[in-house]
Amino acid sequence: MKSNKSTSLFPRELVLESLKQSFVKLNPRLMVKNPVMFTVEICTVLMIVATLYFLFAGITDQGSFGYNVAVSIILFITLLFANFAEAIAEARGKAQADSLRKTREETPAKMIVNGKVQVISSSQLKKGDVFECEAGDVIPSDGEIIEGLASIDESAITGESAPVIREAGGDKSSVTGGTKVLSDKIRVQVTTQPGESFLDKMIALVEGASRKKTPNEIALSTLLVSLTIIFLIVIVTLYPIGMYCGVQLPLSTLIALMVCLIPTTIGGLLSAIGIAGMDRVTRFNVIAMSGKAVEACGDVDTMILDKTGTITFGNRLAADFFPVEGASRSDLIRCAALTSLHDETPEGKSTLELARRLGDSSEEIPGSSFIEFTAQTRMSGVDLPDGTKVRKGASDAIEQYVTSQGGKIPSDLHAHVEKVSSLGGTPLVVCQNNQVLGVIYLKDTVKPGMAERFERLRAIGIKTIMCTGDNPLTAATIAKEAGVDGFIAECKPEDKISVIKKEQAEGKIVAMTGDGTNDAPALAQANVGLAMNSGTTAAKEAANMVDLDSDPTKILEVVEIGKQLLITRGSLTTFSIANDIAKYFAIIPAMFMAAIPQLGVLNIMHLSTQNSAILSALIFNAIIIPCLIPLAMKGVKYRPMSSGKMLARNMMIYGLGGVVTPFIGIKIIDMVITPILTAMGI
């Protein structure tokens, strides 16, 4: 899977485009969408106008011209840095959209009209039209295979080089426009209108055209606006307080204090965090239909997972050999291996692999004739040059074969078959000529590392429920091995909906994976529905996320990305608000200490002058935004833990760090700029 590949955060081309967009975004109609930075823009314009007015009007009691110019420049740079943070996040999405757009090139479509092939442009295809594709053709539009079977190269969409099989009927019938047919011939019925294909939706989503603010983002924006209004009132009241104390507060100082105290850090990074969150999901080859879906992942309490293909491998694999009375285990293993040398099914491959692990080294004998499995015979095998016939297959099929060869059925065969069945496995019986040798135990095999992954989810308070059509005994065995918190045996589609509704009624956020039409109702009911790209159109339309790799376990990564998004936003908000404490200690003493010497106790940084103190705070306020862009883009590193521990950890790192860092940063800046300001006479 290519999805999680490492790429540079700041490629040269994206940086240049983002710098250009930083100026474009100064448009007030765009800035007003971010109230905090719009306030900074108003302050910047006001400061520039005031500076020019003071100059031409000859007003000297509002600070020196050089000082006012410095404040204006720093405010303008603050705006550019905030716009750059958003622009670089958007640019990464647009670059990815461009690469996706290349897969949507105009391709000819072999449309079936009255039973004849008519070549037209892919853009002319409408919903309901039928087209044909054969080896080498690019599929012109999204659709469902109605006839045939073919191997499909989906690397243009997923990045996965291995071809996949798509066939008419079932849950593997969906194909995506832009993918390529590698073998055979298929007929496909178009399921979308022009411009509304899955790839079109992907491009729009990645570009951010369809992105809307999430509830969490709206709530945070409301908080930031409230803080801005509060600090605005504080600044307005400071002027009469200063007059009462005999302190003339220049307009530039009041504006500087305003910009420093409002949460500009998180205000400048808020949009970038949201865009980057969706971008991270996309880089895992998951397309989120909205930012709300990504965010909801961060609040998931319960996860519903199918057993087959999600927790276990899609096919049952060989786990053990049980010889019958009168047969040796070594003969059973040898014959099972011989029948599996050319058996390309997962069952056959796993049988040969298990035999090799147990020491068997049987090789193909020249002149052997291999018998493929068919639905009619329900067995496969090999005829050796010396006339020996070895077979493996279903119990009743092998029993019938042995009997027809004049052989007898061992007395303990049924006991072995029932033992395997009671364990929830599939028994395959092996025979040589007319002698039954024993049983191959095929079992549902839990994917490696699943137990650890479920333990990771448990550590962060997420309950996992496995759904399976198996009997309760088999389900319990798999559930225990996998380490899930609960299971539903003999599960029907309505059972999935019932358990989702039950969890939601308790106020929990539920996530689910699925790929079939029968999963569509449950995917729509769940708060987070992750559909497989290989699945049916109904499943993809019902879900709010689609996994291009068709990996059902991907939801585990998606949940962590959602958590990371929320944590990043919370951590940087904490850091931003904590910043204000240091800026308060930098500016307030500088403003009033001359008139109120008692405020000297607050001057813990011992900054050089009033002007250097204010400018140092402003400079730090500006440069901290680009410094935090990598963190906003990559996200705060996520570790599974309880919400209480997570809060305490983030308060320690970003709360305490947000207080300490500005003290150090402002002091260093003050030491650097003081000689410069002295030389300039400011």
Active site (catalytic) residues: 306
Q: CA-CA distance, 623 to 19, in Å (whole number)?
A: 15
Q: List, in order, residues 6 or more apart from 479 with CB less than 8 Å away.
A: 466, 486, 487
Q: CA-CA distance, 667 to 315, in Å (whole number)?
A: 65
- Tell me the sheet residues that pair with 239: none
Give me 86's structure tokens. 């958003």
Give me 288's structure tokens. 């989120």
Exposed/middle/buried for residue 357 (C-beta within 10 Å: 0-12, 13-18, 19+): exposed
* Residue owning tokens 């047919």: 181
Helix axes 198-207, 65-101, angle to 10 degrees: 170
Amino acid at residue number 513:
T
Q: Which of these, 603, 586, 602, 577, lies nearest to 665 by C-alpha position? A: 586
Exposed/middle/buried for residue 281 (C-beta within 10 Å: 0-12, 13-18, 19+): buried
Coil, strand, or helix at residue 36? Answer: helix
Are residues 174 and 540 in contact, defined by beta-carbon separation less than 8 angstroms? yes
Strands (E), 394-542: 426-432, 435-443, 463-467, 486-488, 510-514, 528-532
- Tell me the sheet residues that pair with 521: none
Distance of CA 265 to the CA centre of its chain: 26
Rg from Cα positions in the chain: 34
Q: Which of these, 27, 78, 68, 67, lies nearest to 259 by C-alpha position? A: 78
Cα distances (angstroms) measured from residue 417 to each of 283, 420, 440, 441, 518: 47, 5, 9, 9, 32
Q: CA-CA distance, 545 to 291, in Å (whole number)?
A: 10
